[in-house]
Structure 1
Amino acid sequence: MLLSQMKHEGGVAVVCREPGAAGRIVRNAGGVYELALEAADKGRRLADVITDHGLGDTVDLARVYESGDLLAPIIHLHPANLHLTGTGLTHLGSAATRDAMHKTLAEKDKETLTDSMKMFRMGLEGGKPAPGKIGVQPEWFYKGNGATAAGPGQPLVSPGFALDGGEEPEVAGIYVVSSTGAPFRVGFALSNEFSDHVTERINYLFLAHSKLRPASFGPEIRLGPPPADIRGMSRIKREGKVIWEKPFLSGEANMSHSFANLEHHHFKYGLFRQPGDVHVHMFGTATLSFADGIKPEAGDVFEIDCPDFGLPLRNPLSIAKEEAVTIGVL
């Protein structure tokens, strides 16, 4: 089952559908967030809650997308209560790209592992623990909150001081925290974990700076477990023409960590178990246009496509003017 949200009659409508089928509006649903909290607080499956609400009018989601009326698949009334976070070096093909970015001239000994390779090896050795066991913790980073979440079709805005703005095609877990402080996974969605790779390459300690950028996810949330082997395409279009395209792989068959291990090491912090909060946690990638020497330009469109997750995620690149920030003194 796939869930999305759209503008409808001056408000928001939740759209439910099976892959390949037309969408249907969920009756009496204020939003995916409200439905998810209802399920979490009642201890019920979200699909069953949707069935109880019932389905109404049929909608053509592709046409809604083209009209600009498709929204992020989950939102929070208070943007500060939606958290964008992620993990890196989690995919079997990700280490080589990251290692090449972070090597320095001082590292002449081929037997000396960079911090990236050390972290990757830790994941290979302990990222998929047996059920009930806790594995090694991954690299983790903070991206922002609901104020920096871009909906499908909306621009990813690179700040004026940025040195680069490039896509990262990923799968994200979508979560709500119940009124008792228990995290629940709503489902999985495509995401563009937009980052500044030039800044990151200067020094690995700039990783935190490079990740403080907008991100997009959706357009649809896939309920239930994801496929073990996820295969999609990431591309960049310039003036309607594809200038770069490459397959991306995800899913546990292509990862050094299990989803359960990554979830544990995020939600083990009480900070991330605040009642009513929403979390969009991005699980990493091994595919970057930056690694192929591509420099996106304003107006380029990032497209991440994987049929298992419904409609493709598209976002144009926008570059903001650099602004002076004045710090007042009280």
Structure 2
Amino acid sequence: MRLIQCQHQGQIHAARVENDREVRLLDSDTYTLARRAIVARQSLAEAVEAALTETRLDYSQLIEEKRLLPPLTHPDPAHCLVTGTGLTHLGSADTRSAMHAKTQVAEAELTDSMRMFKLGVEGGKPQAGSVGAQPEWFYKGDGNCVVAPETEIPVPYFAEDAGEEPELAGLYVIGDDGQPWRVGHALGNEFSDHVTERFNYLWLAHSKLRACSFGPELLVGELPAHLEGTSRIVRNNETVWEKPFLTGEANMAHSLANLEHHHFKYPGFRRSGDVHVHFFGTATLSFADGIQTRDGDRFEISLPEFGRPLRNPLRFEANGPATEVRSL
């Protein structure tokens, strides 16, 4: 089962994807639906069946009219936390090391990235009931950094780069008792500044404070262990870069459960009612192939299991507001 969110008659509604052409509206948004399922102690699929209306909408028209939204949102963006983990996929360490190679005089010893990756390979998939190796972790922002599918991703005036990161994102709602509940998974573009990161790895935190997008569809239920997708960049209606990517646990150094544990072990991430969007990493970047994006380029990330592709054009900002701090 796959869900979207959209604007309909001035309200936010979830809708079940019936096929490539049509969606069936639900009586509430995804967040309300998830909270309803938690309280009723039922699965999200059961809550969806109970919330179906007779209203059917044209999927393509929703896209054309820019009415698509991220498939899970919080009424207050400050209560949506967007985070992620890196060096989680087999091959991701080689990509990261290639990015940093110009800053390394010699690599006779393992880089920090390779050490972190090695930890994951050796201990990222613990047996049930055990705690595995701690992954790299980063913060992207709150719900205000999320842009809807088909919407422009802004590139701040101070950015050195604007690169896609095709990933899976786990979507969660925290229950009233602090229990994290996984609503489902979505296709994501984590989007980062790789030039800033490459200059000095300690600037990784700065490189991640950018916009991102996920969706358009939310996959409800178990995630396949092996997933094969395609990431591409389209410029003036021509594909200038395209590459396949692998994801899912079969292609990862860490189990999803281990990544979730090391995120939600912090009490501050188990605050009642919050939404969490957590990116699970990638091993495929156009930046690693020497691609430099331009204003107007469009990212297209697709996985057959997730329905329609996630598409976002780029918009480079010429300048920004003054950031002078004044004394009271």
2:142 paired with 1:154: no
Partner SS for 1:220:
strand
Conservation of the 8 A alpha-carbon contact between 2:140 and 2:210? yes
Aligned ranges for residues 137-216 of structure 1 at < 5 Å? 137-216=134-213
The answer to whether structure 1 residue 230 and structure 2 residue 222 are counterparts is no
Distance 1:139 1:181 in 2: 24
Deviations 1:12-68 (A, max 9, x none): 221112565732111x22x00000111122221011111122332222223311221
Q: Which 5+ residue runs of structure 1 have no aligned equivalent?
A: none
Letter in 2 for 1:13: H
What amino acid is the match of 1:260?
A
CA separation of 1:105/1:201 partners in 2, compared to 1, >3 Å: closer, same or farther?
closer
Distance in 2 (CA, whole Å) between partners of 1:105 and 1:150 is 33
Relative to structure 1, the CA distance from residue 262 to residue 313 in structure 2 (aligned partners, 3 Å threshold; closer, same or farther) is: same
Does residue 14 (structure 1) correspond to residue 14 (structure 2)? The answer is yes
Give CA deviations for 1:125-181 in whole Å, capped at 9, x if unaligned: 000011111100100000011111100011111110010011000000000001111
- Equivalent residue letter for 2:302: D
Question: For residue 48 of structure 1, what is the aligned residue in structure 2?
Answer: 46
Which of 275, 280, 305 is matched with 2:277 structurally? Answer: 280
Pairwise CA distance, 1:328: 1.3
Q: Distance in 1 between matches of 2:309 and 2:175?
A: 30
Query: How many corresponding residue pairs?
Result: 327
Q: 1:106 Cα shift?
A: 5.3
Structure 2 counterpart SS, 1:218:
strand
Contact residue 102 and residue 116 of structure 1 kept, 8 A? no
**Counterpart Cα distance in 2 of 1:278 and 1:284:** 19
Cα distance change on mapping 1:284 and 1:109 into 2, 3 Å: closer
Tell whether 2:301 aligns with 1:304: yes
Secondary structure in 1 aligned to 2:177? coil
- Using a 3 Å threshold, how does the CA distance of structure 1 residues 209 and 105 change in structure 2: closer, same or farther? closer
Distance apart, 1:109 and its partner CA:
4.8
Alignment partner, residue 326 of structure 1 = 324
Q: Is the 8 A contact 1:126 1:135 kept in 2?
A: yes
Output the TM-score relative to the length of structure 1: 0.96
Report the counterpart of residue 82 of structure 2 in structure 1: 84
Instruction: Give, in whole Å, the separation in 2 of the partners of 1:180 and 1:326.
Output: 41
Moved more, 68-77 or 116-125: 68-77
Looking at structure 2, the residues matched to 15 and 175 of structure 1 have their Cα atoms a distance apart, in angstroms, of 18
TM-superposed deviation, 1:7: 1.1
C-alpha distance in 1 between matches for 2:164 and 2:311: 11
Q: Distance in 1 between matches of 2:107 and 2:48?
A: 58
Q: CA RMSD in A?
A: 1.3
Are the equivalent residues in 1 in contact too, given 2:24–2:52 (CA < 8 A)?
Answer: no
Q: Is 1:32 the counterpart of 2:30 in the alignment?
A: yes
Q: Distance in 1 between matches of 2:168 and 2:106?
A: 35
2:21–2:59 Cα contact (<8 Å) kept: no
Indicate conservation of the 8 Å contact 1:79/1:145, yes or no: yes
Q: Equivalents in 2 of 1:120, 1:143: separation in Å?
A: 21
**Residue of structure 2 in register with 1:261 after alignment:** 258
Cα distance in 2, alignment partners of residues 19 and 10 from structure 1: 24
Question: Residue 174 of structure 1 contacts residue 187 of structure 1 at CA under 8 Å; is this kept in 2?
Answer: yes
The Cα of 1:108 is off from its aligned counterpart by 2.2
In 2, distance between residues paired with 1:162 and 1:207? 13
Greater displacement, 156-165 / 49-58: 49-58
* 3-state DSSP of counterpart to 2:288: helix
Amino acid in the other structure paired with 1:25: L
4+ residue segments displaced more than 6 Å:
none
User: Given that residues 83 and 144 in structure 1 are in contact (C-alpha distance below 8 angstroms), is that contact kept between their aligned partners in structure 2?
Assistant: yes
Distance in 2, matches of 1:18 and 1:258, equals: 31
2:18–2:24 CA contact under 8 A, matched in 1: no
- Once residues 104 and 20 of structure 1 are traced to their aligned partners in structure 2, the CA distance between those partners, rounded to angstroms, is 45
Residues 81-132 of structure 1 show CA distances to partners (whole Å, capped at 9, x for unaligned) of 001100000000111010122246554252x000000000000000001111
The amino acid that maps onto 1:53 is A
Sort the Cα spacing of 1:210 and 1:43 in 2 relative to 1 into closer, same or farther, 3 A: same
Which residue identity lines up with residue 197 of structure 1 in the other structure?
A: H
Task: Give the distance between the partners of 2:129 and 2:198, measured in 1 at CA.
Answer: 37
SS at match of 1:14: strand
* 5+ long unaligned stretches in structure 2: none
Give the letter aligned to residue 298 of structure 1. D
Q: Per the alignment, in what secondary structure is the counterpart of residue 144 of structure 1?
A: strand
